[in-house]
């Protein structure tokens, strides 16, 4: 299976919405991507097989409510979606690895994620509490994680991580 990972293009929007809707079994994540699309410092990548979009990953900026991140760009990873028939074949892993590399190249210093601790540990994500970061949402222990894209990038940072207001819109 030849997989190509590339940046989202304008004509991909309908397919991205479809992939997120099917992968999550609801429209919430698909609608969230639509609300976030085009905002500054976002990154949207698609996985393409035989000219069809079968996977998608999105990154958007987060802020620290009571901490100092001046001059630092911290992104939130999510959602990441892969059509069911392409899951468990490494496509999500490829999307995440290439996405993190693109974030690094674009000047992001760190990425946070809400997700399966064992899965995200494979990419180097550690519990956010180890870096004195807390999530604005109530989440299971260990589910809020962070990856420094530059060693020591979060030195001196601490506080409550807030996602974009669009995360709270629309349910």
Decide: 109 and 153 in contact? Cβ < 8 Å: yes
d(C-alpha 23, C-alpha 41), whole Å: 25
The whole-number pLDDT of residue 76 equals 97
The whole-number pLDDT of residue 2 equals 86
Per-residue pLDDT of the chain (171 residues; tens, 9 = 90+): 689 999 999 999 999 999 999 999 999 999 999 999 999 999 999 999 999 999 999 999 999 876 666 678 899 999 999 999 999 999 999 999 999 999 999 999 999 999 999 999 999 999 999 999 999 999 998 999 999 999 999 988 889 999 999 998 654
Task: Identify the three-state secondary structure at position 80.
Answer: strand
Q: Interior CA angle at 56 toward 26 and 6, to 5°?
A: 160
d(C-alpha 169, C-alpha 29), whole Å: 11
Residue 137 sits at φ, ψ, to 5 deg, of: -100, 155
d(C-alpha 135, C-alpha 162), whole Å: 7
Name all domains of the chain by residue range, CATH numbers in brackets.
3-168 (3.40.630.30)
């Amino acid at each position: 299976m030849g997989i190509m990972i590339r940046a989202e293009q304008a004509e991909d929007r309908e397919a991205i919405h479809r992939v997120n809707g099917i992968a999550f079994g609801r429209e919430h994540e698909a609608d969230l991507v639509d609300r976030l699309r085009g905002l500054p410092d976002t990154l949207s990548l698609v996985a393409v097989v035989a000219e069809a979009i079968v996977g998608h990953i999105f990154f958007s900026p987060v802020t620290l409510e009571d901490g100092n991140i001046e001059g630092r760009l911290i992104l939130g990873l999510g959602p990441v979606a892969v059509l069911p028939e392409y899951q468990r074949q490494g496509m999500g892993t490829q999307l995440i690895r290439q996405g993190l590399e693109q974030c690094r190249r674009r000047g992001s210093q760190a990425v946070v994620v809400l997700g399966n601790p064992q899965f995200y540990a494979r990419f180097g994500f550690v519990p956010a509490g180890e870096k004195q970061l807390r999530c604005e949402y109530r989440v299971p222990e260990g589910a809020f994680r962070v990856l420094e894209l530059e060693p020591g990038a979060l030195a001196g940072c601490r506080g409550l991580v807030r996602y974009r207001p669009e995360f709270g819109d629309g349910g």
